[in-house]
Amino acid sequence: MQDLTNLVNSGIITLKPYIPGKPIETLKREYALDHIIKLASNENPLGPSPKALISLKQDMQNIHLYPDGDAFYLKSALVEYYPIERQQLTIGNGSDSLLHLIALTYVKPREKIIFSQFGFAMYKIIAQLVNAQAVEIPAKSDWSHDLQAIAAAVDTETKLIFLANPNNPTGTWFSQNELINFLDKIPKHVLVVLDEAYYEYVTEKDYPDSLKLLSSYPNLIISRTFSKIYGLAGLRVAYCIAQAELTDCLNRARLPFNVNSLAQHAATAALTDDAHRKHSLQHNLQQKDYFITQLNQLNLEFIPSIGNFITIKLGENANKFYQQLLEKGIIVRPLTNYSMPEHLRVSFGKADENQQFFKVLKQLL
């Protein structure tokens, strides 16, 4: 009999699939619990934009029709909202799928994809999916991307660099000046993907204004999502912004109906729901303050984060605490797959959920 494993693309053999946060329903089944607090996937605890929900109800009766493959209305809304042009936009089924699409479109087998140690886990998986060489550059001692070392690692085989700003799971970030210094060193035949999944949560003044850099750095691609502050993670919709030439190729390579019609309409409505976005941002800042106060009181080390989550050092008991939290109906994110076995990542939930997390954590400590 033929050995079917030999048929597979070589990159898949060593690929370890992405480990998502444990779904609420799974924990309910496993532990026969009925109330679960999920602080594991950086979702918006306030839920979806109410405007998006209204739009969904209206659009539901049209799901027998194929979606608009060109996402006309969502692109129109984005073009109105940001200083960008329609020809710069690619819409995707979540930013994961866009990051994959970029690699699929541009990276040839054995070319190099560079990313940081502790960088978002999908970067390595995507490199393997396209049979590229995955090059992981050691992070700095504060867990952040070492942009100088990443730039120094670029060689003639390099095609793509993934940067997350802020990064998940560390919450670390780099400034406008650091980004410009970095981009100045990168040859124009190397694409730089700036993953800004948490862009709308950031309030730091020297955070990059990345859209303004697009005209000076034609090799830059910016990726943003409706999964985080907009509260639409379950619908899967995101966009990337790049020069028209790059965008044209990405749109040729993407599948024709890659974003469903409900997702397109909900995202269009959510984008202009300023009230929901501002409320979510305020809530996040408040809950982040609460977390930092509590962590300081408990004398626990954490990595300073500008996202909607924080990574806490719990030492050798981290995995035990993860299990014990599960038993109490609280899902957080273990980071062993990032080689951070002493840390747990916790998303900021609703106020009462966060209080319950600290109540249980104090008992465990």
Ligand X SMILES: *Cc1c(COP(=O)(O)O)cnc(C)c1O
Task: Give the interface with ligand X as residue ranges (CB under 6 A).
Answer: 42, 94-96, 120, 164, 168, 195, 197, 225, 227, 233, 238
User: Is it true that the peptide bond before 169 is cis, omega within 30 degrees of 0?
Assistant: yes
Residue closer to ligand X by CB (options 168, 219) is: 168
- Give the C-alpha separation, 160 to 223, whole Å: 14
Give me the least distance between CB of 119 and ligand X, in Å please.
8
- Name beta bridge partners: 84: none
Closest CA to 122 of 103, 150, 143, 147: 103
Asked if 135 contacts 32 with a C-beta cutoff of 8 angstroms, the reply is no
- Give the C-alpha separation, 267 to 244, whole Å: 22
Give me the least distance between CB of 228 and ligand X, in Å please.
6
Residue 354, both tokens: 């966060």
Question: Would you give the distance in Å from CA 121 to the centre of its chain?
Answer: 9
- Name beta bridge partners: 346: 310
Give me the least distance between CB of 69 and ligand X, in Å please.
19
Give me the least distance between CB of 167 and ligand X, in Å please.
6
Residue closer to ligand X by CB (options 127, 360) is: 127
Residue closer to ligand X by CB (options 40, 330) is: 40
Give me the least distance between CB of 1 and ligand X, in Å please.
39
Residue closer to ligand X by CB (options 238, 360) is: 238
Closest CA to 294 of 344, 359, 340, 343: 359
Asked if 303 contacts 143 with a C-beta cutoff of 8 angstroms, the reply is yes
Q: Please report the DSSP string for 269-293 in residue order.
A: HHHT-HHHHHHHHHHHHHHHHHHHH
Give me the least distance between CB of 120 and ligand X, in Å please.
4
* Amino acid identity at 338: Y
Residue closer to ligand X by CB (options 170, 356) is: 170
Residue closer to ligand X by CB (options 6, 203) is: 203
Helices (H), 186-237: 210-213
Give me the least distance between CB of 99 and ligand X, in Å please.
7
Neighbours of 70 (CB within 10 A): 13
- Give the C-alpha separation, 267 to 237, whole Å: 7
Residue closer to ligand X by CB (options 238, 269) is: 238
